[in-house]
Structure formats: C-alpha cells, structure tokens
Structure 1
Amino acid sequence: MEKPYEWANGAELEEHSRRKHKILREYFFQYITVRCQLPQQERFRLAVIDGFAGGGRYKCGTSGSPLIFVEELKRAIDAVNTQRAAQGLGLIEIECLLVLNDFSRDAIERLKVNLAPLQTDIQSTTPRLHVRVEYMNDPFEGAYPKIKRALEQGRYRNVLFNLDQCGHKHVERATLVDIMRSYSSVEIFYTFAIEALISFLKKADPIKLADQLRPFGLQSTDLSALEGAMSKNTWLGAAERLVFDAFRSCAPYVSPFSINNPGGWRYWMIHFANVVRARQVYNNVLHDNASAQAHFGRSGLNMLSYDPSHEDGALYLFDVSGREGARTQLLTDIPRLISEAGDVIRVGEFYEGIYNATPAHTDDVHQALIDNPDIQVITPTGGERRSAKAIDAGDILKLKDQKSFFPMFFDAGKKT
C-alpha cells in the first residue's frame, strides 16, 4: 500500500496528488494575503514545515509542495504590495522559515537542485521576501523535536505544517495534538490513505470500528471486502464520520473531506485549524476547486448527521448543485440553531458553532441569513443589515417574533 516515490529517476504525479496540490496552492496564497491586510502592518513572519517534502518537481515538470510554497509566497507578496501601493499604504516584508524534511536522501538532494533557481529568482526580483530554507533528512517523528526547538528559538507564532505522508503510520496522533497546542496561530494539512487508518483502528478498537461501519452495511473484518465499496456514496458517508471521530479532538476545527479521486475515496486531506476564520477560508477555497474534495451527507449545518436508514444523504462536491442544496438546508438549520441559544446570538459566536459541521461557502451562509424570513441581522448600533456582503462578526442574529418554522418545544401543559 505504501509505495515510495522514486525521486532520483523522476516521480510520477498521481491524480489525487494533483488535486490536493491545487487546493494547497490556492489556500496558501489566500493564507498570506489574509494575514497581510492590516494597513499599519510592515512585516509578516511565518514558518512552513513540509514533513514529507519529496524532490520538489515531478517527472512531468509539475511543482511539488516545497516549490508551491515558494512560488505562492512570491505571488502573494507581489499581489499584496501592488494593492497596498494602489491604496497609498506602505509596502510589507515577509520573512519565512521553510523547513523541508524527507526520509529519502535522494529526495532531499533532488529538492536542493529544484529549489535553487527559485531562491535565486527571489533574491534578484523580490527583495521584500526573505526565505530561509532548512533541510532535514529524518523520519518525521524523529525530526519533529528538532523542528519544534527551532520554532521555539525563532519565536515563530504563525506556523503551517504540510504532512503529506504515504499510508497513515508516519505521524502520531499525539504529535498532531502537540502541534495544534504549541503555537498561537497554527494550521496543519494532513494527508493519509483511508485503508491504513482502518487497519490501525482494527487493532486499536475493533469493536468501535465495527459499530461505526455497521449502520452502513459495511464490515471491518476484511479490508478487501471494502474494495468494492470505496467508490460508493455510502462508503464515503461512513468513512467521513470515522475520520472525523478519529481526529476531532486534535483541533477546534477539523475538515474531514476526502480527495475526490476517480478511483474511489481512498485518500483523505484533512485541514486542522484553531481559529474559525481559517476554516471559513478553507471551505471557500474548496468551492473554488469544485470536485477536488467530496462530502456525503447533509449540506447544511449538520453535515455528519446522515442516517443511511432514511436515505437522506447527498454527494456534495462543492459545486453549483451542492451549493443550491446547502442554501435550502441553511434556511431551516440556521433559525433552529439560533433558537437553541434562546433567540439571539452574536455572529462571531454563530461562526464558531457552525464551521466544524458545515461544508457551506461563507457567501451562502450570509445570504441565508439575509433571505431567511425568521431572522434579523442587527448591527452593533441597532440598525438592520440588508446586504449579505456587509455582515460582520460583531453583528447580532435575532429570531423575529413571528416565526414561520415549527417551534422546537412548547408548554407541556397546553392542550393542542
């Protein structure tokens, strides 16, 4: 199952890798531009750790993740400073520590060769971008203590880990938890093969695994029995819940979506974040890359509540049809959520409560708030929002007195 890349002779780029690299590229660009928005800002410092860096460029010439990070740093700082200059603001400088680790010595040597031209180009064309590259040649778990010391010594607060492993066993769950708890602003992209996770869960807790798969008519006793199910929607629904359950305690926001590969849902790319804004941006990037990742279940605010006995699940590919279904469900789900809080909730608190349980685009959530006949969006000064684009985290969501949806409960003493 774990097939190491032959970087010395040129590694083949598989379709699931192509899809996850496109998401990684676009999210990283958004990450930089979002973090460089303050008008008073003069400098942004970050560290990027690629734990399974590979050789940097595939046989077909396509960039791997280390080169993607450098290319997008250059593109982002150019875009940010062009906009700042147009607004009459001072230009910004970016300092990035790029730690590139791989167990393969061939991969690291090839990576040094492939990255050198980009480093030279930045030095000559982008003087406000400072990239320091550190190479390591260890198993990730062996490298992590050294990486952590380097980040502590450099006092890096903004940290992004890319952990694109073969299989599942090369990154311990305890390490994921430690990463997410060690830095004030940290995110992880974590990739693995679902077969490897199921093999691990079979040994760790076979009874729980069997219970999780049984409602979907799936068996955990033989992995080969799942082979024919991996391209079916019911399998995706079961596996997504299993993945979320395995990792939800690692971070406040866990995105448990599978890479939508023609060969079936075998590879998972999870995004871990500590702040809701990161999950919002990630969801939006997935919608910009429709069909790159997949979800099966509900598309409103309770995405993992799919019940196979009711057959109410649907395939959500972050595309136009998926968004239409999400808008319909949001119109019902949002007032119910507000009513669970009483009748009022701050928008920021609302975000924090929903983004681990929805694949929806931010624009669709905002439009559902404006279009919903049962909700008022009230500004901090007491006015009412009329535009979805103007909604702010400091606004208040309030249920109207006359509600069109069925109440969650009523006085038990009343006769109906």
Structure 2
Amino acid sequence: MASSFFEEQKEQSEIKAAIVAKYFWAWAKVIMPRVQKADNKIAYIDLFAGPGRYKDGSSSTPLLILEKAIADPVMSKMLVTLFNDKDEAHAESLQAAINALPGVKTLTHEPHVNNQEVGEEIVKMFEQTKLVPTLCFVDPWGYKGLSLRLINSVLKDWACECVFFFNYNRINMGLTNPFVVEHMNALFGEERANALRTRLKGMSSEDRELSIVEELAKALKVMGGKYVLPFAFTNDKGTRTTHHLIFVSKNVLGYKIMKDIMAGESSRSSQGVASFRYSPADARFPILFDLARPLDDLAGMLLKDFAGQTLAMQDIFERHHVGKPYIEKNYKAALRQLEAGGKIQVDPPKRPVRKGEVTFAPSVQVTFPALRR
C-alpha cells in the first residue's frame, strides 16, 4: 500500500509537503545567522523519505528541501541532509532523483540516503549524538517506528524541531487492538495509553479524535516539547479526519512561524480565523462558515482575560495565542473590532490607515476596562 501512495501526488500530500518545505525555509532563515560562527551547519532529516518523485513527476518533500538549499548561496554551504527509507527501491529511486537535481553538486555536504528500518537502532544513534540545529520530518505509512523516544531523541538538542505524520485512522483503531499494544504504548507512553483506552469506550467519533490528539500533545509536552501544533486532514467528502501533521518545538518563535504557515494552508476560515484543517470537500461544497464567529469569541476572551490592564498589542498577542487557533492578524482584527465598538481605549487613537483599515503596530497601547461586578 505504501508504494501506491507515491504513484500520484494527492492534494493532501501536496499540502503536507508545502507546509514542511515552507517551515524549513522560514526556520533555516532564523537559525542560519546564529550558527555561521559556530558549526556552520543546519540539518534536515527525513526518516520515511519515499522515492523522491511521485508518478506524476512532482517533487516530494526531500527534493523540495534540496531545491531550496541549492538556490540559496548560504544554505548550500550549511545544509546537512539525511534521508532514509526502509524500502530499497524507494531509497534507490530517491538517490537517482537527487543525483539528477540541477546544481546538486554545488552543495557543500552531499545528501546522504539510508536504507534501514526506523526503530531502536536509529533512536539510540540520535540519543547518543549531539545534533546540530535540525528539522526532522517523520512520515510513516502507519505508526511503526513512530515513538515518543524517537521524537525526544531529536528535540533534546538546541534548535531541533520535529514534524510528524500522525495516521489518525490507524492509531484510532490501534488503541483498541491487542496486537499492537507495544506500538501504541511507544507513542503515548504505557500509563497514558492505558488510561486513554479506558476513556475511549463509548465516546463519539468527534470526542475520540479530540481526546487522542490532546493526550498525544500532553505526552509530548511532558518530555519537553512545550509547543505542539496539529493540522488535520479529512477524507475526500470532508466527513472525517484521516490524519494529522503535528509540529513539536521548544521555542515559541517556531510555534508562531508554523502557526502562520498552517493557517495559510487551511482550506477554510471563518472571519479570517483559520481552521487548521485541510478538506478537499471545502472547495466543492462551500458552506456559510461565518455562522460561526471565532473572531467575536476572541474579542470576548480579550476583554475577560486582560480586564483592567494596559498592554502593548505585541504583549497581548504573545501572552495569549499559544494553544489557540489565532494568528497575529486575528488579534489585530479583534482589537480593531473592540476599538470601533468603543469597548477599549487605544493609544495613540489616531493611526495610519492601510487597505481601508486602521493599523495596529506592535507598540500600540491598549487599555481594557475592568470587569463589572
């Protein structure tokens, strides 16, 4: 089945590859200046890399990353890449696709392609190695090889982050399958997995999804992945979630950058607030999503959470956005809404207008009224 996945690039796969490639570029631009005087290296690791190109000829994630590096004179000198696929044919195909990339010989560090199963050996290697700043992408077909230990073996070092594919369909079924207990325990931790198995009994499908993703996020945070951000994909009809792309970082700046990217790739939004979900059905079956009012919800939260305080716009955003589906432009929109309604005081009150909207610079001071008793 895994090989058929690469026969053509499905729309969801294209979105997934775009998210990872866009984040890698943004992450690298932040990290490279900080390491130029040290090791002068950054790394990209892809442990389930696939054959390099889909049957339609489009590039999968490894080639997108290398193409970015080849095109950038600084990154081409710094980037170290490790690609792996346990399927020998995939590894050989990927190597051939890399060799055929125009300009690949200009890279200082030759891309390395491995052909081994992801398991204990790879985990131990990462655990015993001090990694240079690394973005690791883990995209298994199912769940074998994906574990908390693997993710932590990368996150342990400075400026190392992980994006992984979470096959919700198979993991949802696997949690109640006695034959894959070991794999589920490796992913959630034994105690958490056992508690989750008990809780899932009798739950609705929506509650099951929320509970499973929430428990995974908690497990990641316990081991040091302070910032966890999931992006959901649905089936072609948009009726159920099939998998998630999950980002884990120890740094709030990485979280903010990835949130902006995932918001931009979402297939729907309401009042400008992204769903952090991609559904092929959204384009075919438009709905009146503005019946939900998430921006109104944010405005209400701000009035409550910052009651009686005066803060700069940037401080409001930084203190409030983690764990919520809002990006910086949503906060500016909510504050404009509150200002227009006379519910907050803003200093300076007169500010430039761009594209028909009053600007909200990071230093603008906002005073929220005290809550009425």
**Structure 1 length as normaliser, TM-score?**
0.67
Shift of 1:386: 4.5
Task: Determine whether 1:98 maps to 2:81.
Answer: yes
Unpaired runs of 5+ residues, structure 2, are 182-189, 353-357
C-alpha separation in 1, matches of 2:118 and 2:346: 47
1:24 aligns with 2:27: no
Residues 355, 51 of structure 1: CA spacing in aligned structure 2 closer, same or farther, 3 A cutoff?
farther
Correspondence for 2:111: 133
Note if 1:240 corresponds to 2:206.
no
The alpha carbon displacement at 1:25 in A equals 2.6
1 CA distance for matches of 2:100 and 2:226? 39
* Aligned residue-pair number: 335
Helix, strand or coil for the counterpart of 2:144? coil
CA distance in 2, matches of 1:94, 1:324: 48
Deviations along 1:149-186, whole A, 9 cap, x unmatched?
55x2xx51x21010001112321123223422x12212
Cα distance change, pair 353–57 in 1 and its aligned pair in 2 (3 A): same
How far apart are the structure 1 equivalents of 2:290 and 2:167?
Answer: 25
Match of 1:333 in 2: 301
Report percent identity of matched pairs.
17
Partner in structure 2 of residue 197 of structure 1 = 171
Instruction: State the Cα distance separating 1:34 from its structure 2 match.
Output: 4.3
Q: Distance in 1 between matches of 2:312 and 2:211?
A: 29
Residue 144 of structure 1 pairs with residue 127 of structure 2: no
User: 1:187·1:272 contact (CA, 8 Å) conserved in 2?
Assistant: yes
Tell me the distance in 2 between the aligned counterparts of 1:287 and 1:331.
19
- Which whole-Å deviations, capped at 9, do the CAs of 1:269-323 have from their partners, x for residues lacking one? 11112222222222222232231xx899x9989x9xxxxxxxxxxx999x99579
TM-fit CA distance, 1:390? 6.1
Q: Match of 2:338, as an amino acid?
A: N
Distance of 1:99 and 1:286 partners within structure 2: 25
Superposed CA offset, 1:108-142 (max 9, x none)? 11111111122x5143xxx5x53432222222222
Q: How does 1:103-182 map to 2 (within 5 A)?
A: 103-118=86-101, 121-123=103-105, 130-141=108-119, 142-149=121-128, 152=130, 156=132, 158-180=133-155, 182=156
Relative to structure 1, is the Cα distance of residues 177 and 73 closer, same or farther in structure 2, using a 3 angstrom cutoff? same
Question: Per-residue displacement from partner, 1:330-371 (whole Å, max 9, x unpaired)?
Answer: 2111232224xx735676665554344222232112332354
In the alignment, the residues of structure 1 paired with residue 346 and residue 33 of structure 2 have an alpha-carbon distance, to the nearest angstrom, of 26
Q: Which amino acid aligns with 1:359?
A: P
Cα deviation, residue 69, structure 1: 1.1
Q: Once superposed, what is the RMSD of the aligned Cα atoms?
A: 4.1
Other structure's SS at 1:256 match = strand
Partner residue, 1:260 = 234
3-state SS of the aligned residue for 1:259?
strand
Structure 1 residues 36-89: Cα deviation after superposition (integer angstroms, max 9, x where no partner): 579x999963111101111111111111121111122234x27xxxxxxxxxxx
Q: CA deviation at 1:145?
A: 2.6
Determine the C-alpha separation between the residues in 2 that align with 1:43 and 1:371. Answer: 48
